[in-house]
Amino acid sequence: MDGDARINPYLTGNFAPVRSEDDFDLPVVGEIPRELRGALFRIGPNPQFEPRDPNHHWFSGDGMVHGFYVEDGKVRYRNRYVRTPKWQAENAAGRSLFGSFGNPMTTDPSALGQDSGVANTNIVWHAGRLMALEEGHMPTQMDPGTLETIGYAEAYRGRTTAHPKLDPVSGEMVWFAYGVGDMPLSAGMSYGVTGADGKVVRRDDFQAPFACMVHDFMVTQNHVLFPILPLTASLERAMSGKPAFAWEPEKGAYVGVMRRDGDVGSIRWFNTEACYVFHPLNAWEEEGRIVADVMRYDAAPLFPNADGSPGRKTAARLVRWTFDLAGNSDAIKEEPLDDLDGEFPRVDPRVETLRHRHGWYAADPTNGKTIKQGAIAHLDLTTGARQVYALPDGDLTSEPVFTPRSADAPEGDGWVTAVVWRAAENRSDLLVFEAQDIARGPVATAAMPRRVPFGFHGNWVSL
């Protein structure tokens, strides 16, 4: 499969699925700190069967969870499919049934109207539950030890985001959903809150300025920010054979700002020039303003234009958005923070919603405007100093994940873990770095006997 250039690029190389579910003890080179105990959970798309959609999109594959369990300097690996209703239906049929994003035009008639959730985008721990997330369905609860699928968290009463925010002060999980309502690909959205005890305490619906892919959002101690950017959604377009999601810069770009305890009718819409943001680094409040550091693209990558023509080749860079809540202008002030192409930005989770100093991200040291990142970067936003660890040529990294050294360690004092693909050997490694000494390279490497396909997000859980 990997060498067949005629098939979809999202099914080749390290995008190609690994369909075995395995358990391995991993040999370690170097020394994993004894204090580092827990698990790095990663998730990504991994189609169970060959997709039926000739235009299969990477984002549409079945979710597979990869667990790296670390204890006493040793590493165990386990991977399992998220057994969603879609996975179960296709497993019983022995073939693919659903089109990309559940597109009815490319879905088998027997599966029309059925649950097409893939649970492939993020995996988070909150209130003692490990949950696999995506943007169109409820969270799917997983057993953190066995990675067995427990099932939907029904209390969410519908679709949720793949990117909730965990408030380190209150313990709440703040989340949203898009495409809400009876009509697929609609402008309907929800705002929700889950208490520290795991109970959903709020879910309110509202209408965005237009229907679009809202992959992530920002949360501060007192506000939520909803980015409505022109990667638009259209059922009519999809039914005509054109892309369900496409780049339409003429729609403009908006960010809705609302108090967390406010009514959805009070959202204030700020604006900026057309752009796209998959992932913010963090956001906080200071002196009547909201400040958000985000990875900004000039145009949405990976998606076509509305007429189906290929989209622009573009990459993201870290910028700072400032929202003046006391001012009369609804324009977003923007200033650059870094000149290195990057993605998957992360902070110390203990400062999410609060002002941060340190950030880590996957980077492209060549600034080649690609989604493939061959380096890991650390940026000190107080001093402006940047450290970069470049992987050997051809190797590529996943999202770097920060873990604090202890609960009361200073911000940024801890480790960063990342899964990297070794291109020449076509397999993967787990790397462990000292978080503020990235340029030194990994202090430990746990070697996989095979590869972990490119995925999306991961989080560290202290089990």
- At position 394, the amino acid (one-letter code) is G
Cα–Cα distance measured from residue 437 to residue 60, given in angstroms and rounded to the nearest whole number: 36
Cα–Cα distance measured from residue 201 to residue 127, given in angstroms and rounded to the nearest whole number: 14
Would you call 8 helix, strand, or coil by DSSP?
Answer: coil
Cα–Cα distance measured from residue 251 to residue 229, given in angstroms and rounded to the nearest whole number: 8
Domain ranges in the chain? 9-461
Q: Would the pTM count as exceeding 0.85?
A: yes
Measured between alpha carbons, how far is residue 101 from residues 44, 312, 388 in Å? 15, 22, 36
pLDDT of residue 228: 98
Measured between alpha carbons, how far is residue 201 from residues 126, 192, 197 in Å? 14, 8, 10
| Residue whose entry in the numeric block shows the structure tokens 């499969």 | 1
List residues forming the annotated binding site for Fe cation.
Answer: 163, 215, 279, 457
Q: Please, what's the b/e burial string for 175-190 (b: 16 or more CB within 10 A of its CB; e: otherwise)?
A: bbbbbbeeebbbbbbb
* Cβ atoms of 176 and 193 closer than 8 Å: no
pLDDT of residue 6: 59
Q: What is 9-461's CATH number?
A: 2.120.10.30
> Any alpha helices (H) in 190-280, and if so which ranges?
235-239
Measured between alpha carbons, how far is residue 314 from residues 150, 249, 255, 288, 362 in Å? 39, 14, 21, 33, 16
E strand or H helix at 91, and its extent?
A: helix 85-93
Residue 27 is given by DSSP the state P
The separation between CA 343 and the C-alpha centre of its own chain, rounded to angstroms, equals 10
pLDDT of residue 213: 96
Sign of the CA dihedral with 188 first, then 193, 199, and 203 last = negative
* Cβ atoms of 443 and 432 closer than 8 Å: yes
List residues forming the annotated binding site.
Answer: 163, 215, 279, 457
Render each residue's pLDDT in the chain as its tens digit; 463 residues.
344 445 788 999 999 999 999 999 999 999 999 999 999 999 999 999 999 988 888 999 999 999 999 999 999 999 999 999 999 999 999 999 998 887 788 899 999 999 999 999 999 999 999 999 999 899 999 999 999 999 999 999 899 999 999 999 999 999 999 999 988 899 999 999 999 999 999 999 999 999 999 999 999 999 999 999 999 999 999 889 899 999 999 999 999 999 999 999 999 999 999 999 999 999 999 999 999 999 999 999 989 999 999 999 999 999 999 999 999 999 999 999 999 999 999 999 999 999 999 999 999 999 888 878 999 999 999 999 999 999 999 999 999 999 999 999 999 999 999 999 999 999 999 999 999 999 999 999 999 999 999 999 999 999 8
What the block records as the tokens of 3 is: 């060498």
pLDDT of residue 64: 98
Cα–Cα distance measured from residue 86 to residue 81, given in angstroms and rounded to the nearest whole number: 12
What the block records as the tokens of 402 is: 């920060």
Where in 199-305 does DSSP place strands (E)?
200-207, 218-219, 223-228, 231-233, 245-247, 253-259, 268-272, 280-286, 289-296
What the block records as the tokens of 392 is: 């050997």
